[in-house]
Amino acid sequence: MAESDRVAIITGAGDGLGRAEAIELARDGVAVVVNDLSEDLLQETVSQVEAVGGRALAVAGDVAEWETGVRLLEAARDGLGQLDVLVNNAGILRDRMVFAMSEAEWDSVIRVHLRGTFVLTRLATEHWRNLAKQGGTPQARIINTASEAGLMGAAGQPNYVAAKAGIIGLTVSTARGCERYGVRANAICPRARTPMTDGMFAAPDSGHADPFGTEQVTPLVAWLARPDSDAVTGQVFVVHSGRIAVMAPPPVAATFAAPERGWDVSAVASAMDWYAEPRPTFSAKDAIEAAFEVRG
């Protein structure tokens, strides 16, 4: 295990990707505070972290509750000595088409994913800002879990898509606003086989590495948590199948100039004839898939 005195909070760490991230960070020498709703699942995570020589504390609770966030920060700062890394991973699914979605299904997904990410981000960045203002030099890292769904949409997941797109926006805003305080914030869009994604991916070929195994994702998380990732902030990564893609901001597809008289409805309609012109189509999904077809 690498020598380090760094400490991370990881939400959604009772199983799946969050647990795998906790173990990977522990192997890299990071002590972890793990969070989930289930105390039993968290204790299993703690045991697996300790089995690789790591240190772990468990704090069960609803990550969208302010009090849970406060307890997590206190566990890192007071129980393990400090806080250097925040991995926001907690999430749920309540899939349904937008025309059939209930208020509860919308609110619960937005609450866990987006509010939960905000609560921990808000508390951690305040902590690091205070340290910087007191003369400290934080080398703080935030790694948020977004999704390709937040980049390109998914018909039956309007709540999840909105939450993940919001997390990407929050990540970039945090990166811009907190860079001066030593905070680096990035988002990952993983494809990982976990209890939450059960049944979404085909079974792996026998004798071959699982392209959607959590081990395809966690090394990137561990590197983003390191001090030597200091130059990287405000970025969105897609990661799976042994590939990492760095996403660029959306490009401008076309611009239209108003006629001398200015815009009116007919002028807009004339400009929008552009949509009827034949052109190659290349969506965000196409771009991601093309990136993952690169060999080398």
Check if the beta carbon of residue 143 is closer than 8 Å to that of residue 114: no
**CA of 256: how far to CAs of 14, 154, 280, in Å?**
51, 29, 19
In the annotation, is 285 catalytic? no
With CA atoms as reference, report the closest residue to 10 among 124, 117, 64, 86: 86
CA end-to-end span of the chain, whole Å?
Answer: 30
* Complete domains list, the chain, with CATH: 7-247 (3.40.50.720)
Helices (H) and strands (E) in the chain, counts: 10, 8
In the annotation, is 181 catalytic? no
Check if the beta carbon of residue 163 is closer than 8 Å to that of residue 107: no
Angle, alpha carbons 276-279-280 (nearest 5°): 140
Does the global pTM surpass 0.85? Answer: yes
Map residue 54 onto helix, strand or coil.
Answer: coil
Q: Which two tokens stand for residue 142?
A: 């935030």
Q: What pLDDT shows up at residue 193?
A: 78
Query: Of 38, 47, 108, 147, which residue is the catalytic one?
Result: 147
Kindly report, residue by residue over 240-288, the tens digit of the pLDDT.
888 999 999 888 889 999 999 999 999 999 999 998 888 776 666 676 7
Average pLDDT over the chain, rounded to an integer: 92
Kindly report, residue by residue over 186-212, the tens digit of the pLDDT.
999 998 877 777 666 667 777 778 777
**How many Å apart are CA 42 and CA 175, to the nearest integer?**
30
Query: Of 133, 164, 181, 206, which residue is the catalytic one?
Result: 164
In the annotation, is 266 catalytic? no
Query: Of 102, 133, 160, 283, which residue is the catalytic one?
Result: 160
Print pLDDT tens along the chain (296 aa).
Answer: 344 589 999 999 999 999 999 999 999 999 999 999 999 999 999 999 999 999 999 999 999 999 999 999 999 999 999 999 999 999 999 999 999 999 999 999 999 999 999 999 999 999 999 999 999 999 999 999 999 999 999 999 999 999 999 999 999 999 999 999 999 999 999 988 777 776 666 677 777 787 778 899 999 999 999 999 999 999 999 998 889 999 998 888 899 999 999 999 999 999 999 988 887 766 666 767 766 665 44
